Structure 1
Amino acid sequence: MVLPVQDSIEENLKAAADYLSGELLYERNLGLGWGYLLGESISLLTQQCNRRQPGAVLPLIGKAHIPNKGYRVDELAETLASACGRHAYRLAVPAFPDSLEERQQFETTEAFLELDAMWQKLDAALVEIRDFPSVPDEATATRFGDSLKRQRAVGSFLSYYYNERGEFISGENDFAVRIPLGTLRHCPKIIGLALGAAPNAITGALKTGLFTHLLVTESTARKILEK
């Protein structure tokens, strides 16, 4: 979906929410990522839930100590689920644990195992495509050292970082709690919200082969086509 030139980001977000209401609200099990624009889009989307439908809304990544509602994915899931009459799942663990052992401990909890089983049943996922580097930073120095710069990262989604060729970049201390890429690949509809992303971040995201849908502004779409 290419959004025509708008006068403000608010108008872009309203247009995005109008589109997402058709793409998401009729799917049964929905997964949500994080990001400032994603949080704003969900707030607008809740206003369009005019019918109650069975299903669930699931966070795809743990919680972060970032003071913005777009990064409180459990709350986003609860807000959207409540508006649409669905069941909300909570991950309720930090997105960035300090060690592999800590992550493994989280992954043995009943709540995580229940959510992991539901991730296998996703019908659609909404994630925000972000630039690298960007604000807020997602503990990249601790998780990756200098790997992201050395391997020329251009963007991320769900705190998975990649270069412009769509190759994912790993870090020795990257113990993030989130949906595994292998599981995400089985989701039939993955929507990338890319209203604030640069052309190379969007190009790299598309080359990962994960995305089936994309929301992008007209000005950015033209820059991508001119490359």
Structure 2
Amino acid sequence: NMNQNEIANLLGVSRPLISKYLMEARNLGVVKIEINDLLTSDNVEDDLSERICKKFNLKDIYIIPSSTNKDLNDQMFVDYATEYILGTFKDNFLLGIGWGSVIGAIIKKIDNFEPKRKLIGDVVPLISNAPISFRNYHTNELVRMLAEATGLNAQYLYAPVICSTPSEREIFLNTDNVKGVMDMYERLDYVVIQIRNFPSVPDLATEARFEKKLHQEKAVGMLLGYYYDINGNVIQSDMDYSIQIPIDSLKKAKKVIGIINTRVNSTAAIGAINLGIFTDIIISDNVAKELL
């Protein structure tokens, strides 16, 4: 399991020489490389999907095999998740997307497709841009990239994700832009949301918004700007002045896809599913096995 640099250092030769030897070894049949379709292997059990769907009242669960190699695992998850998501879309739809590293990676993969995948519909962010430098949490930018890659019509949300006072939040909620986006939230066809652990980075000013409530009420995970406990109860705060899709609007969407990669722990996954907003789940097999 050594890489070429490690082998070269061990033998005291150059990395290009190791690369040449490996190529010759493959040509001679000394080294053989096989690619197995993991999704058809015993790593994914059909009855596991059925049992999870039945237990949590889900319409569909797509289990992706995990690897001990973190980089390979992340790439494999993004590859399969991308194809699953694209395979669910029909023409003339309204899509709402959240934020996060996996969603950012999925959009980047779609952007790199050749030929491009052309879609017909609109895409809108489910929450405003986070006040951090990571592009994967700039939802308007994610919407722009996805729209340019697929031909979808981009709809933007021009408001801060966290307002400083109730009056500031009310001002933004009464703008034509936010009103228009909130109206779209009531008629979404598809929603894609990444589920994350609590605590996690970025923090989204949890101390100012919730003080000690997240620890007192035993938060286990988050999605968008919402925090919840293991039973799927959203933790509320009188000082939370965020602007994002209401939970009740999420429940009205025709298909809500939750993304749970191998870095998400089982308590965060269970709490998210217990919110009752998801119809479909994309999940790593190591996490899926812990749900029962």
CA–CA separation in structure 1 for the residues paired with 2:151 and 2:106: 18
Q: CA deviation at 1:27?
A: 6.3
Q: Which residue of 1 aligns with 2:83?
A: 18
Task: Look up the equivalent residue of 1:28 and give its one-letter code.
Answer: F
- Structure 1 residues 186, 54: closer, same or farther in 2, change over 3 A? same
Deviations 1:82-131 (A, max 9, x none): 22212111112110111111111011111111111211221000011011
1:122 to 2:188 alignment: yes
Q: Which residue of 2 aligns with 1:134?
A: 200
* 1:211-226 alignment runs, 5 A limit: 211-225=278-292
Q: Please list every run of 5 or more consecutive structure 1 residues that lacks an aligned counterpart in the other structure.
A: none
Q: Which residue of 2 aligns with 1:54?
A: 120
- Structure 1 residues 156, 25: closer, same or farther in 2, change over 3 A? farther
Q: Which residue of 2 aligns with 1:2?
A: 63
CA–CA separation in structure 1 for the residues paired with 2:146 and 2:278: 22
Percent identical pairs in the alignment equals 32
1:29 to 2:90 alignment: no
Quick check: which has more Rg, 1 or 2? 2
Q: Which residue of 1 aligns with 2:23?
A: none
Number of equivalenced pairs: 225
Q: Which residue of 2 aligns with 1:204?
A: 271
Contact persistence 2:121–2:152 (CA under 8 A)? yes
- Structure 1 residues 12, 95: closer, same or farther in 2, change over 3 A? same
1:40 to 2:95 alignment: no
Of the three residues 252, 267, 279, the one matched with 1:186 is: 252
Of the three residues 114, 138, 160, the one matched with 2:226 is: 160
Contact persistence 1:129–1:156 (CA under 8 A)? yes
Q: Which residue of 1 aligns with 2:4?
A: none
CA–CA separation in structure 2 for the residues paired with 1:109 and 1:147: 31
Task: Look up the equivalent residue of 1:13 and give its one-letter code.
Answer: V
Q: Which residue of 2 aligns with 1:148?
A: 214
Q: Which residue of 1 aligns with 2:142?
A: 76
| Structure having greater relative contact order (Cα 8 Å, sep ≥ 6) | 1
Task: Look up the equivalent residue of 1:57 and give its one-letter code.
Answer: V
Contact persistence 1:58–1:115 (CA under 8 A)? yes
CA–CA separation in structure 1 for the residues paired with 2:99 and 2:119: 23
- Structure 1 residues 2, 26: closer, same or farther in 2, change over 3 A? farther
Task: Look up the equivalent residue of 2:204 and give its one-letter code.
Answer: E
Contact persistence 1:21–1:45 (CA under 8 A)? no
Deviations 1:26-83 (A, max 9, x none): 5611001111121111211334584534310000001111221210100111111122
Q: Please list every run of 5 or more consecutive structure 2 residues that lacks an aligned counterpart in the other structure.
A: 1-61
CA–CA separation in structure 1 for the residues paired with 2:124 and 2:117: 19
